Amino acid sequence: MAKNAPPALETSLDNLEVLVEKMESGELTLEDSLKAFEEGVRLSRECQQALQQAEQKVRILLEQNTEADPEPFIGGDNEQ
């Protein structure tokens, strides 16, 4: 991974979840809450950008193979 590459979507989501838990605890000062909120907004934008890039890649791949039709994903623990 490149030095300045943005963190993976999963890492950003995990960090966002930790921030939300801290803010919901009610133990942060107003100043710390504002900093956490600002960081949360930044992480949220990173996640949105990563999802948009993934969507764009899927569209490009589907355009390359016009006969391909997307199918619903069936997976997880209930997969047989």
pLDDT, tens digit, 9 for 90 and up, residues 2-40: 455 556 888 999 999 999 999 999 999 999 999 999 999
- Give the pTM: 0.64
Whether 9 contacts 52, CB under 8 Å: no
Query: Could you give the percent of the chain with pLDDT greater than 90?
Result: 52
Tokens coding 59: 């569209």
Whether 30 contacts 17, CB under 8 Å: no
Q: Which domains does the chain have, with CATH numbers?
A: 9-64 (1.10.287.1040)
Other Cβ atoms less than 10 A from the Cβ of 33: the count is: 15
